[in-house]
Amino acid sequence: MKNIFKRQDIVDKILHAVDTLADPVKQTLSPKGANVLIEKSSGEIISTNDGYTIAKDISVEDGLENSIIDVVKSSSFKTNSEAGDGTTSTIILSQVLIREGMKLLGKKSWFGRKTLHNPKELTKKLSTFGKDYIETIKKGSIKVKTQKDVYNIAKISANNDDDIARNVADTIKIVGKDGMVFIETNNEIETILKEELGFKIDSGIAYKELLLDSSVPKVTYNNVPILITDKKLYYKEEAVTILRAAQEAGYKALVIVARDFMGDALLTFITNHTKGNIKVLLVKDPSCTENDNTSLQDLAVYLGGKVISERAGTLVNKISRDDFVIASKVFSDIVKTLITPEKETDLLKERVAELKKELKEDKENETLKKRISSLTNGIVTIKVGGSTPLEINEKIYRYEDAINATRVAIMDGYLVGGGLSYLNCFDEIPVNPELKPMLKKYSEAIIKQIAINCEKDADEVLRKAKGNMGYNALTDTFEDLLAAKVVEPTKVVVQAIANSISVANVLLGTAYYIITKKDNT
């Protein structure tokens, strides 16, 4: 059964739902923003000022309002997914557009009423504004050039924590913008960085049945045996032989890197995994072909093992314990797999030296560059310490935000922060006169929320904001925010604008809401 609501009859409920989500989240903005205490469904208590974490746990009993909350959450989570940060900004901007947009539509039906805006026309104008706004903002983007730039961006995203910023900057220096970073808890008070090697395969978990937790699309195995083969594993007998050899060796888990997995072999691997006989991770090597197993040869050298190759006359159904090699860690998600060796071997050093020599003779060879990168990439594990689990968890959220922010800034640059980037561009683009009051509030929303969270007069802060001069919440002064290194990644701002306008258009352009009927609806 469904409940059917007309938009004009439920405006107050729509706005209440948006406020229910936005109010706890937006008061976290700025270095002086407050934390939120959350009881997880597991009973765990966490304290955080991370907008994504807070929003994720907000839901209400009212079916209609919960649907509205989920729509806005989905948009803000898209910003976080695409830019690594910006959940809070997206929710703040969405709240302004939805509130002001509903005023323009009015509470009565828009049909036949010339004095009210047509929702299609309104959403079209908002979309045009958004495109112009984003293009103008992008023009002011500044490239990340130095390690100091990375540190500054990390510091802002980490809520101005010096230690986190330094650790993140050091981490990015080691792994680059695409390298792998693990964040774990430490049993000690101190936070430490652990650097390791990591071989990357551009292929992840191909079969959801092999997840360790169906709700988490990634797996990690420590001190796990690996079998490397250039064969397409098809027959049940092949799978049985491999699994038997692993079990006879006493292994509880196994990683297999092969050209492909098919037919009865695949079914046998999945069945044994789901029954718990032996946990299995199957990784396809997308670069391995019938005539070229170079990447697997590199992996074998990397781990100090060998490739089980049909061309070499070694068949999979003849394997033994000696054909497995132990990896210190294997991590796999839906797009990639990273393998860490127990130790760096002399053969690995020799292979890297050979490839670098070849690259000197063929400097534009992208395949060689990729092979060298796979053999030399660093992986960093940040083991976050603290006095209590609550403190450690809160730090972990800030580490995640800081790492994500620095990576997108390296790719797309950064802008002056403190809300100035939103404000400065507003006067540079054409704005429909009827929409100007609403969009002016939109461009001022971030600055005003920072001022409110710092217990400042928001109107006064806005009057003084111009160019790079703005309010520094950390020092409680008005100054050149760019010179003070108060910056934010361009991509975060761009995605916050795009996704806030997108979700506002969804709600403003909807005439009816059809919601599943519940006992309390």
Q: What is the pLDDT of residues 457-476, one digit of tens each?
A: 999 999 999 999 999 999 99
pLDDT at 296 > cutoff 80: yes
- What are the strands, taking DSSP E only, across 119-190? 180-185
**Residue holding tokens 């691997």?**
269
What are the backbone dihedrals phi and psi of residue 370, each rounded to the nearest 5 degrees, phi first?
Answer: -65, -40
Domains of the chain, start order: 2-142+414-516 (1.10.560.10), 147-197+382-411 (3.30.260.10), 200-343 (3.50.7.10)
Q: Mean pLDDT over residues 152-160, rounded?
A: 89
Q: Which residues contact 267 (CB under 8 A, 6 or more apart)?
A: 236
> 459 by DSSP, 3-state: which?
helix
pLDDT band at 409 (very low <50, low <70, confident <90, very high): very high
CA–CA dist 308, 301 (Å, integer): 13
CA–CA dist 14, 136 (Å, integer): 32
DSSP count for the chain of H helices, then E strands: 17, 19
pLDDT (tens digit per residue) in 39-59: 988 888 888 888 999 999 999
pLDDT at 20 > cutoff 90: yes
Whether 158 contacts 165, CB under 8 Å: yes
Query: What local confidence, expressed as pLDDT, does residue 480 receive?
Result: 96
Query: What local confidence, expressed as pLDDT, does residue 363 receive?
Result: 76
Burial of residue 385 (number of CB atoms within 10 Å: 0-12, 13-18, 19+)? middle
pLDDT at 114 > cutoff 90: no
pLDDT band at 96 (very low <50, low <70, confident <90, very high): very high
pLDDT (tens digit per residue) in 173-198: 888 777 778 898 988 899 999 887 78
More confident residue, 96 or 363: 96
Q: Write the single-letter amino acid at 265.
A: A
Structure tokens at 22: 């936005």
CA–CA dist 339, 21 (Å, integer): 40
Prediction pTM value: 0.73
Whether 330 contacts 226, CB under 8 Å: yes
Query: What local confidence, expressed as pLDDT, does residue 217 receive?
Result: 86
**Residue holding tokens 């400065």?**
424
Query: What local confidence, expressed as pLDDT, does residue 112 receive?
Result: 45
pLDDT band at 115 (very low <50, low <70, confident <90, very high): very low
Q: Which residues contact 227 (CB under 8 A, 6 or more apart)?
A: 242, 246, 254, 255, 256, 257, 258, 308, 319, 323, 324
pLDDT (tens digit per residue) in 200-214: 888 888 888 988 887
Partners of 281 in beta bridges: 255
H-helix or E-strand spanning residue 415: strand 414-416
pLDDT (tens digit per residue) in 300-341: 988 888 999 877 666 677 888 889 999 999 999 888 888 988
pLDDT (tens digit per residue) in 361-375: 887 787 887 777 777
pLDDT at 170 > cutoff 90: yes
pLDDT at 67 > cutoff 90: yes
Query: What local confidence, expressed as pLDDT, does residue 312 receive?
Result: 67
Query: What local confidence, expressed as pLDDT, does residue 200 receive?
Result: 83
Q: Which residues contact 470 (CB under 8 A, 6 or more apart)?
A: 416, 418, 419, 420, 447, 461, 464, 478, 479, 481, 486
Cβ neighbours of 517 (radius 10 Å): 11
Torsion of CA 265, 269, 270, 273, to 10 degrees: 170
Structure tokens at 251: 């292994």
More confident residue, 7 or 242: 242
CA–CA dist 164, 459 (Å, integer): 33
Alpha helices in 225-345 (DSSP H): 236-248, 263-275, 294-303
Cβ neighbours of 31 (radius 10 Å): 19
CA–CA dist 143, 156 (Å, integer): 17
CA–CA dist 320, 322 (Å, integer): 5
DSSP class of 231: S
Q: Mean pLDDT over residues 21-34, rounded?
A: 93
Whether 469 contacts 479, CB under 8 Å: yes
Average pLDDT over the chain, rounded to an integer = 89
CA–CA dist 308, 231 (Å, integer): 8
